[in-house]
């Protein structure tokens, strides 16, 4: 798995980069780690660049499991806004995840353009791009 992230702005912003094939177990373990990461403030904004990633094990049940984890009562406030950047190959999988999280009251929005995602999050796209470029996987 190739997943790394940077926490910035006093824990209020999380910038992630995912590369290669990501298994369901790896995805769930990563999210559990982040939800327990004390350097990330409650109500943090998250941007995930998964344009170089593939999710060969993606299923509806897996999306539901991820959504349930994100919306758990004791973790619900961890992330306020969550933008997921994907390519055409993973677009449908990301839209399923978006739908499942929305059903549980959490919002993940799928994007294919960094600038648009950053505008929605209120982040500086140049700063985010520089951070993404600094992440080595």
Distance of alpha carbon 40 from alpha carbon 31, whole angstroms: 12
- pLDDT for 1: 59
> Going edge to edge, which strands form the sheet with 2-8?
2-8, 13-21, 44-54, 79-85, 108-111
Q: Which residues of 112-126 are buried (b: 16+ CB within 10 A; e: fewer)?
A: eebeebbeebebebe
- pLDDT for 94: 94
Does the pLDDT of residue 105 top 90, yes or no?
no
pTM: 0.93
Q: Which of 97, 37, 24, 12 shows the shortest CA–CA distance to 4?
A: 37
CATH, range 2-134: 3.30.750.24
Locate the domains of the chain by residue range: 2-134
Q: Band the pLDDT of 26: cuts 50, 70, 90.
A: very high
Helix (H) or strand (E) holding 7: strand 2-8
């Amino acid at each position: 798995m190739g997943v790394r992230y940077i926490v910035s702005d006093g824990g209020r912003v999380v910038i992630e980069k995912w590369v290669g094939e990501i298994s369901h177990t790896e995805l769930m373990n990563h999210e559990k780690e982040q939800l327990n990461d004390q350097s990330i403030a409650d109500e943090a904004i998250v941007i995930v660049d998964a344009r170089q990633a593939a999710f060969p094990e993606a299923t509806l049940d897996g999306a539901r499991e991820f959504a349930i984890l994100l919306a758990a009562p004791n973790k619900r406030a961890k992330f306020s806004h969550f933008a997921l950047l994907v390519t055409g190959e993973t677009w449908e999988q990301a839209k399923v995840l978006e739908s499942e999280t929305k059903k549980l009251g959490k919002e993940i929005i799928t994007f294919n353009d960094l600038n648009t995602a950053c505008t929605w999050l209120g982040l500086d796209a140049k700063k985010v791009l520089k951070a993404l470029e600094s992440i080595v996987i």
